[in-house]
């Protein structure tokens, strides 16, 4: 069970908004780069997000570049999961690989600042501020396994290769 506060974002938040190109030179300095996470979508986010808070967005979150730095710095900044109506493909895959839960669900009921809790295994999110309950479909078993192992690096180390079939 995870519990935290909602940081609300709109539709089409690109990886350029999450991890701007002007900080390209910080890509080998992830803790510095994380200070700019989501900067062009909400300049307040990185400095004020608390450990375990959630990034909650609309459609097509993470569209654009393949930069894995985008989910990595969201995670390093402290977010416990990303919730969106839908995700761009590469971003979604990267979330699983870096061990950041990405949950596809109806996010319209959650408002900025709401306190929510998420039961990943049961697929239930409860908004403790307004009482709303939202369900979501479990992950594909292959992806769940990678996530459970702690991301792709750990998965491969543990199984000495892929073990998802």
Partner 1 sequence: MGLTLAEKILSNNLGSEVRPGDFAVFRTDLCLLQDGTGPLAVRQFRKIGFEKVFEPSAVVVFLDHAAPCPKSELANDHMLLREFARQTGCTLSDVGDGICHQVMSQYHTSPGDILIGADSHTVTGGALAAFSTGMGSTDLAVGMGLGKTWLRVPATIRVQCTGALQRGVYSKDLMLSIISQIGADGATYKALEFGGDTIESLTMASRLVLSNMAVEAGAKVGLIASDSLTEKYLEEHARTDQYKRIAPDDDASYESVLDIDSAALEPQVACPHTVDNVKPVGEVSGTRVHQVFIGSCTNGRLEDIAIAASIMREKTRHPDTRVIVTPASRRVYMEAVESGYVDTLLRAGALFMPPGCAACPGVHGGILGDGEVCLATTNRNFLGRMGNPKSHVYLSSPATAAASAVTGVITDPREVV
Residues that bind partner 1 (CB under 8 A): 12, 14, 16-17, 20-22, 24-29, 40, 59-60, 63-69, 72, 86-90, 93-94, 97-98, 140, 142, 151-153, 156-157, 161-162, 164-165
What is the H or E stretch that residue 89 is in? helix 89-98
Give least dist CB 107 to partner 1, A.
15
Give least dist CB 74 to partner 1, A.
13
- Decide whether 131 or 161 has the Cβ nearer to partner 1: 161
- Decide whether 50 or 154 has the Cβ nearer to partner 1: 154
Radius of gyration of the chain (CA): 15
- Decide whether 21 or 113 has the Cβ nearer to partner 1: 21
* DSSP secondary structure letter of residue 75: H
- Decide whether 4 or 92 has the Cβ nearer to partner 1: 92
Give least dist CB 66 to partner 1, A.
4
- List the strands of the sheet with 102-104, edge to edge: 102-104, 81-84, 54-57, 2-8, 115-119, 124-127, 133-135
CA angle, residues 58, 50, 93, in degrees to nearest 5: 45
Give least dist CB 136 to partner 1, A.
17
Dist CA 156 CA 16 (whole Å): 29
């Amino acid at each position: 069970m995870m519990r935290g506060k909602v940081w609300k974002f709109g539709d089409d938040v690109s990886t350029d908004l999450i991890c701007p190109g002007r900080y390209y030179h910080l890509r080998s300095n992830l803790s510095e780069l994380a200070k700019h996470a989501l900067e062009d979508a909400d300049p307040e986010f990185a400095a004020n997000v608390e450990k375990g808070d959630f990034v909650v967005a609309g459609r097509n979150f993470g569209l654009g570049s393949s930069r894995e730095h985008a989910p990595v710095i969201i995670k390093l900044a402290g977010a416990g999961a990303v919730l969106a109506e839908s995700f761009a493909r590469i971003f979604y895959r990267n979330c699983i690989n870096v061990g950041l839960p990405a949950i596809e669900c109806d996010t319209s009921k959650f408002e900025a600042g709401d306190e929510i809790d998420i039961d990943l295994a049961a697929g239930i999110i409860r908004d403790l501020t307004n009482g709303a309950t939202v369900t979501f479909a479990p992950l594909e078993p292959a992806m769940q396994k990678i996530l459970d192992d702690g991301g792709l690096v750990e998965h491969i180390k543990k199984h000495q290769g892929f073990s998802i079939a």
